[in-house]
Amino acid sequence: MPHLLKSLSMGVISLALIIIVLALIVYLLEDKLTFYPMRNLELVPEDFGLSYEEISLRPSGSDTIHGWFFKPRDEKTPVLAIFHGNAGNISHRLDWLTPFIKRGFGALLFDYRGYGLSSGSPSEKAFEEDALAVWDFLVHQKGIAPRLIVPFGRSLGGAPATFLAAERPVGSLVLEGAFGRGKDMAGRIFGFLPFHLVMKNRWEVAANLSRVRVPVMILHGREDEVVPFSLGERLAQTKGPPKVLWWPVVGGRHLDLQIILGASYYERIGNFVWQAAGKSNAD
């Protein structure tokens, strides 16, 4: 019996050491496991026949964020502030964004720090600072009324988009393929191992959503292979003041909903944005 107890104790200690080492690796490699930026811009707005203004903003310190501003058709038309996901750069979002531009919407498509032509390194804090810089640019440099600004977050971009809607007056918020907590995504990746405890970036999207005071649309593909549908559904059930329009898409995977739905994707989102802008008192 003493020999058995000693073996069990050694086994437990070994397992604990393995978990600690793995947790340390996760802590040290968190950014590499989270962010997949690409520097090279493979497409530009001219490839889609779009007129635009190239912009460079300085959210903090010496870091700059690069992007493209697409002017709305008139001063009463909403402007989408696009917060893309954790991979690639803005050039990979042009095909998806173009139908919104063609419908007259304005848009600010930018890269977080460390993506595309933007300098610096990405992090949750940097994402949030970038979001505030985007709002400041639209309001103070472009004269866009806050009620016409629509943070549109896709996948991980749902975090800074929701943060912005909680921190600044906007007209509405649109989230696609988003999740409510970084902890939940860590659980999907690491299972029962509590590696979320060592994560520097918390991604508390649901907590910020509960502070949002404008209409919210959340859409999610039922077959999403990256962010499970259940996490999007749970996010839509967040308790708080915003009125959430929940849109589950049958057959939809991760960020392919415009392909599944076609023109109805752009029409329904556009109608939601217009209606919210008409009711907003964010100015």
Taken in order of first residue, the domains within the chain and their CATH numbers are 35-279 (3.40.50.1820)
User: 216 pLDDT exceeds 80?
Assistant: yes
Q: Which residue bears the tokens 């023109």?
A: 263
Q: What is the DSSP letter of 217?
A: E
Kindly report which listed range (126-140, 231-245, 249-263) carries the lowest average pLDDT score. Answer: 231-245
pLDDT of res. 27: 47
Average pLDDT over residues 232-236: 96
Cα 149–Cα 178–Cα 117 angle in degrees, nearest 5: 65
Kindly state the percentage of the chain with pLDDT values over 70.
Answer: 80
What is the C-alpha to C-alpha distance for residues 14 and 220, in angstroms, rounded to an integer? 41
pLDDT of res. 193: 45
pLDDT of res. 93: 98
Average pLDDT over residues 260-264: 97
Amino acid making up residue 156: L
The token duo for 160 is 């800074």
pLDDT of res. 126: 95
pLDDT of res. 199: 61
- Please indicate whether residue 75 or residue 15 has the higher confidence score (pLDDT): 75
Note the pTM of the prediction, 2 decimals. 0.87
Kindly state the percentage of the chain with pLDDT values over 90.
Answer: 75
Q: What is the DSSP letter of 170?
A: -
235 CB burial (10 A radius; 0-12, 13-18, 19+): buried
Question: Greatest CA separation found in the chain?
Answer: 82
Handedness of CA 38, 170, 183, 246 (dihedral sign): negative
Backbone angles phi and psi of 249, in degrees to 5 = -115, 110
| pLDDT category of residue 189 using cuts at 50, 70 and 90 | low
Half-sphere exposure of 268 (CA within 13 A, CB side): 16
Closest CA to 69 of 164, 138, 150: 138
**Ramachandran area for residue 143 (φ above 0: left; ψ -120 to 50: alpha; else beta):** left
pLDDT tens sequence across 78-122: 999 999 999 999 999 999 999 999 999 999 999 999 999 999 999
What is the C-alpha to C-alpha distance for residues 276 and 272, in angstroms, rounded to an integer? 6
| Residue 174 · residue 272 · CB < 8 Å | yes
| pLDDT category of residue 32 using cuts at 50, 70 and 90 | low
| Residue 184 · residue 231 · CB < 8 Å | yes
The token duo for 243 is 């009125």
Q: What average pLDDT does the chain have? A: 87
Q: Which residue bears the tokens 């907003």?
A: 280
pLDDT of res. 17: 46
